[in-house]
Amino acid sequence: MPLNPHNQPPRGPFAVPMLAATVLAIALAAGTSLALGGDARTSTLASLTLTLASAATLFPILASRFIAPSAWGVTVFAAGFVRMLLVIGVGFALDRTRELAREPFWIGLLAGALTVLIVETALAVLILSKLERSRVAAPNSTRPAQA
């Protein structure tokens, strides 16, 4: 059952910057892999790994209607954690099963993944801070009575 739409974290202010950050990070993964001497295949595998892992970013966006506002930050954290596990797991699987330049692959992949993580963390803090300020400023806020 969806929650009150006025009491939800905003999806748009999270989704649009995360889409831009993900596209930038995928390009960064490819560019870094190439700049460090990787071939086109290595660069493509780094980009595809980050693209696959970034699907975890969709969870807080799609599920925000069903998540209590107090749990939205934890959901963003969990999605970031899952994304990093996917980056490591898929990267490790590709590293073991494909011929690729290891150092360019890993450095490119991690540069992209860290870019998304930094943007996601900063964005979540900004959104949660704004929600908290509006909650405190609301006349019916649940602040404890002062003695």
Confidence class for position 3, pLDDT limits 50, 70, 90: very low
Torsion angle (degrees, nearest 10) of CA 106, 120, 63, 73: 120
Pick from 60, 51, 120: nearest CA to 90: 51
Distance of alpha carbon 130 from alpha carbon 11, whole angstroms: 14
Kindly tell me if the per-residue pLDDT of 14 is higher than 90: no
The pLDDT of residue 143 is 53
What single-letter amino acid sits at 127?
Answer: I
Q: What is the tens place of the pLDDT at every residue in 97-125?
A: 988 899 999 999 999 999 999 999 999 88
Domain ranges for the chain = 10-132
Higher pLDDT, 6 or 20: 20
Kindly tell me if the per-residue pLDDT of 139 is higher than 90: no
| CB-based contacts of 78, cutoff 8 Å, min separation 6 | 59
Q: What is the tens place of the pLDDT at every residue in 36-80?
A: 999 999 999 999 999 999 999 888 888 877 887 778 888 889 999
The pLDDT of residue 2 is 47
Distance of alpha carbon 80 from alpha carbon 92, whole angstroms: 18
- Across all residues in the chain, what is the average pLDDT? 86
Q: Are 4 and 117 in contact (CB under 8 A)?
A: no
Distance of alpha carbon 81 from alpha carbon 88, whole angstroms: 11
Percent of the chain with pLDDT over 70: 88
Pick from 137, 46, 136, 140: nearest CA to 88: 46
